[in-house]
Amino acid sequence: MTVLGTQGLVMDIPERPDGVPLDLEVRPGQIWGVLGPNGAGKTTLLQTLAGLRRPRRGRVLLDGWALAAYRRKAVARHLAVVFQERQDGFPATVLETVLVGRHPYLAPWDMESAEDIAIARDALARMDLAALEARLVSTLSGGERQRVAIATAIAQTPSVWLADEPTNHLDLRHQVAVMELLRAEARAGRGVFLCLHDINLAARWCDHLLLLYPDGEACWGAADRMLVPEALERLYGQPLARAEVDGAQVFVPAGGATSARPQTRQGGTQ
């Protein structure tokens, strides 16, 4: 079964050729990572998958049905999005902010129930934020706000996670905590789909990878088949050195000037 899939999906990025249409299948229990240089369209892909942007071609499937056929509120009960950028125009406490994640479950006249509040508190505890419940979000650090955003998505109790750089601004301990949380979510039968900057986080926690090139080319598949130095070097235009530490592959930039240039790569290798 596929919780989130695409059929011949081409993102609508102005002045960019169609490139390779994406046929992705995210199954329950899988963690997908999207790697690519700046401007490759990672965030656009995430927004397209969330139904917040129209694709140029193809379609997105949620639980086997066309995403476009769902009502927005029904989508929000299935699928949580953690954005990279957030707006906190008006003052709100941490608990109020996380309670917003319950919005898709409430009818217009409903007030949040004790269950909703319990779910929100539980989400705060899982993100190590229980002590900050009454604080104003505007007084928090960048990393704490990132955790509030993830807690909001937890409170949404989604069956699919879409997260744009979920480890942004986080210290090492919380980076690991967030990736462990996402792994636990996957083990509980949910689909997880992440944009990542850090190859090493992807190598350690993702079981499937999508490499997105700036010209629209792409390839995807099981992580161990994608984590090939040559492919990654082409992706970032940066020579890499690989090592194995603590049972995981680690990629670091190789010394010297950058000489490798991004080349196109044809087709997907499923």
Partner 1 sequence: MGAAEQNMSSARSAAAGRVGLRRIVLPLALLAVFAALSVCVAVAVGSVPVGPAELWAVFTGDGAPLHRTLVIELRAPRALSAFAVGGLLAAAGALMQVLLRNPLADPYVLGVSGGAAVGALGAMLAGLGAAVVSGSAFAGALLSTLLVFGLAHGTGSWTPTRLLLTGVVVASGWGALITFLLAVGPTDQLPGMLYWLMGDLAYARTPWMALAMLAGICLLILPMARSLNVLARGPLQAAALGVPVRVVEWSVYVVASLMTAVAVTTAGSIGFVGLVVPHMLRLVLGNDQRLILPAAALAGGALLALADTLARTLIAPEQLPVGVITALLGVPTFLFLLYRSR
Please report, as ranges, the residues that interact with partner 1 according to CB under 8 A.
47, 50, 52, 71-77, 79-81, 83, 86-93, 96-97, 100-101, 103-104, 106, 108-115, 117, 156
Indicate the SS3 state at residue 173: helix
Q: Which is nearer to partner 1, 71 or 261 (CB)?
A: 71
Euclidean distance between CA atoms 152 and 40, whole angstroms: 27
Q: Least distance from C-beta 54 to partner 1, angstroms? A: 13
Q: Least distance from C-beta 153 to partner 1, angstroms? A: 9
Q: Least distance from C-beta 23 to partner 1, angstroms? A: 24
Angle of the 142-155 helix axis to the 172-187 helix axis, nearest 10:
10
Euclidean distance between CA atoms 190 and 78, whole angstroms: 10
Residues 6+ apart with CB under 8 A from 132: 94, 124, 140, 144
Q: Which is nearer to partner 1, 190 or 234 (CB)?
A: 190
Q: Least distance from C-beta 81 to partner 1, angstroms? A: 4
Beta carbons of 22 and 58 less than 8 angstroms apart: yes
Q: Least distance from C-beta 137 to partner 1, angstroms? A: 10
Q: Which is nearer to partner 1, 161 or 251 (CB)?
A: 161
129-153 b/e with 16+ CB inside 10 Å = b?
A: beebeeeebeebeeebbbbbbbbbb
Q: Least distance from C-beta 79 to partner 1, angstroms? A: 8
Q: Which is nearer to partner 1, 124 or 209 (CB)?
A: 124
Q: Which is nearer to partner 1, 6 or 97 (CB)?
A: 97
Indicate the SS3 state at residue 208: strand
Q: Least distance from C-beta 222 to partner 1, angstroms? A: 29
Q: Which is nearer to partner 1, 82 or 212 (CB)?
A: 82
DSSP 103: G
Q: Least distance from C-beta 57 to partner 1, angstroms? A: 22
* C-alpha closest to that of 148 among 126, 173, 176, 116: 126
- List the beta bridge partners of residue 66: 61
Q: Which is nearer to partner 1, 111 or 172 (CB)?
A: 111
DSSP 27: P
Identity of the amino acid at 130: A
* C-alpha closest to that of 193 among 27, 31, 19: 31
Q: CB neighbours (10 Å) of residue 122?
A: 15
Q: Which is nearer to partner 1, 108 or 256 (CB)?
A: 108
